[in-house]
Amino acid sequence: MLYVPTVVFSHQTALERLRSVPPQLDNSEPFEDVFRPNAHSTNTHAANKLNLSEFGIRETPVNVLIGCDMRPTTSPRVRPHSAGLIEYPGWLIKKLTETVYCCGPELVFIQLASSLPLVDAVVLGFELCGSYSHFSSAISGFYDRKPLTSVEKIASAIDALKGLRGLPKAVETLKWVADGARSPMETVLACCLGLPARLGGLGFSAPVLNHKVELEGIASKRAGSKSCYIDLAWPEGERGLEYNGAAFHPNAAKDRRRIEGLEHMGWSINTLDLAEMSDFGKLWDVAGLLKGKVQRIEDATPMFREARQLHHQLLESTRFGLGLEGVLFGVPAQRGSITYHI
């Protein structure tokens, strides 16, 4: 059989491609049958010659997968990682061309969870299982897309990769990930409220993200729809928390009528806006309204200082306030120091 050099993007490079190529524009297909890393081990020379921009990749060194029986060959432009197993389920790998492949979102989560701080890995899980994506460049903002995966699919991948190095960290991280986030701020809220006190969280039971509520009669008439969604919901106690971000809540009057409809159905709704989200003291106060109304996952008492540190880490992980300056200019530029037009 004729040997054809191949390249398999992995780790941070695979994540960059997941972000830079929206699903709407992605023509990749799942690898058919079983993927054998030894047979498709990345050839460093082929990786060095690759036109990365064709695959939506800008950052180097390029992270690639090699067979576990292969000797790593490094270069300034290529960083190899051992596959660790002789077989992967084919659905974990995306086929970009006949010779170029990319690890899918489930595998990317498992790979990066082993090296990222736990909170950062949880945030990544929310993004992959949510309907938003950060941009591949380190700037604020996000774009809408369908979820790339789900908690259930990642769990299935973990079950299929028994013996892979770093798997226990992925298992621990996945405990705190939820499906359904529509924005980074929803991720911040869900993590602040739902992570345990030992991680700096407030220790409430995990909220359901974007929970659908059917409205009846006068509630439906008042809200102007037969159903609506609550950003963070605890259905068992009919408590909800809404993040009033400009992208999803541009009409204050409509939001008020929607909340009135929910309250008529028995729900209690609290709200936060962007300014309050960035001020941990305000978030702490709103969380106090949930105390005794929403079940906690443990008896440990959350501490203000640790919770504030987690909040800060979550804002950093979701690129809050980074702006565009880091991409637009070749030297450090403080946000607001230069007026620009896009």
Residue 98 covered by a domain: yes
Same-domain pairing of 252 and 301: yes
Residue 92 covered by a domain: yes
Per-residue pLDDT band for 247 (boundaries 50, 70, 90) equals low
Q: Which two tokens stand for residue 334?
A: 């403080």
What distance in Å separates the CA atoms of residue 103 and residue 28, rounded to the nearest whole number?
Answer: 11
Spell out the residues 6+ positions from residue 331 whose beta carbon is closer than 8 angstroms to its own.
none
Evaluate if pTM is beyond 0.85: yes
pLDDT tens digits for 7-19?
A: 999 999 999 999 9
Look at residues 174, 194, 220 and tell me which one is the last residue of a structural domain: 174
Residue 340 covered by a domain: no
Q: Which two tokens stand for residue 85?
A: 């197993």
pLDDT tens digits for 20-73?
A: 999 999 999 999 889 999 999 999 999 999 999 999 999 999 999 999 988 888
pLDDT at 72: 85
CA atoms within 13 A on the CB side of 122: 24
Task: Classify residue 163 as exposed, middle or buried by CB count within 10 Å of its CB (0-12, 13-18, 19+).
Answer: exposed
Question: Does a cis peptide bond (omega within 30 degrees of 0) precede residue 76?
Answer: no
- For residue 134, CA distances in Å to 59, 168, 336 come to 16, 26, 21
Lowest mean pLDDT among 82-91, 233-242, 255-264: 255-264
Same-domain pairing of 35 and 108: yes
Same-domain pairing of 170 and 191: no
Same-domain pairing of 28 and 96: yes
What domain range includes position 215? 184-317
Question: What is the domain count for the chain?
Answer: 2
Look at residues 151, 174, 197 and tell me which one is the last residue of a structural domain: 174
What distance in Å separates the CA atoms of residue 186 and residue 184, rounded to the nearest whole number?
Answer: 5
DSSP string, 76-102: TTEEEEE--SS-B-GGGEEE-SSSEEE
Spell out the residues 6+ positions from residue 245 whose beta carbon is closer than 8 angstroms to its own.
183, 185, 273, 274
Residue 117 covered by a domain: yes
Residue 21 covered by a domain: yes
Residue 341 covered by a domain: no
Tell me which residue has tokens 């086929």. Answer: 95
Look at residues 174, 202, 231 and tell me which one is the last residue of a structural domain: 174
Residue 332 covered by a domain: no
User: Does the pLDDT at position 1 exceed 50?
Assistant: no
DSSP string, 178-200: -S---SHHHHHHHHHHHS-GGGT
Q: Which long-range contacts (CB under 8 A, 24 or more apart) does 271-275 make?
A: 271/241, 271/242, 271/243, 271/244, 272/189, 272/241, 272/242, 272/243, 272/244, 273/243, 273/244, 273/245, 274/185, 274/244, 274/245, 274/246
Same-domain pairing of 156 and 260: no
DSSP string, 231-291: EEEETTTTEEEEE--TTT---HHHHHHHHHHHHHTT-EEEEE-HHHHT-HHHHHHHHHHHB
What distance in Å separates the CA atoms of residue 240 and residue 166, rounded to the nearest whole number?
Answer: 36
Residue 339 covered by a domain: no
Same-domain pairing of 145 and 41: yes
Nearest to 173 by CA among 133, 108, 117, 134: 117
Helix (H) or strand (E) holding 209: strand 208-214
Same-domain pairing of 169 and 196: no
Tell me which residue has tokens 């790979």. Answer: 111
User: Does the pLDDT at position 258 exceed 80?
Assistant: yes
Same-domain pairing of 138 and 215: no
Same-domain pairing of 144 and 18: yes
User: Does the pLDDT at position 230 exceed 90?
Assistant: yes
Mean pLDDT of the chain: 92
Torsion sign over Cα 160, 166, 170, 171: positive
Same-domain pairing of 119 and 155: yes
User: Does the pLDDT at position 180 exceed 50?
Assistant: yes
pLDDT at 138: 85
Per-residue pLDDT band for 2 (boundaries 50, 70, 90) equals very low
Same-domain pairing of 32 and 122: yes
User: Does the pLDDT at position 326 exceed 70?
Assistant: no
Same-domain pairing of 34 and 169: yes
Section 260-288 average pLDDT? 94
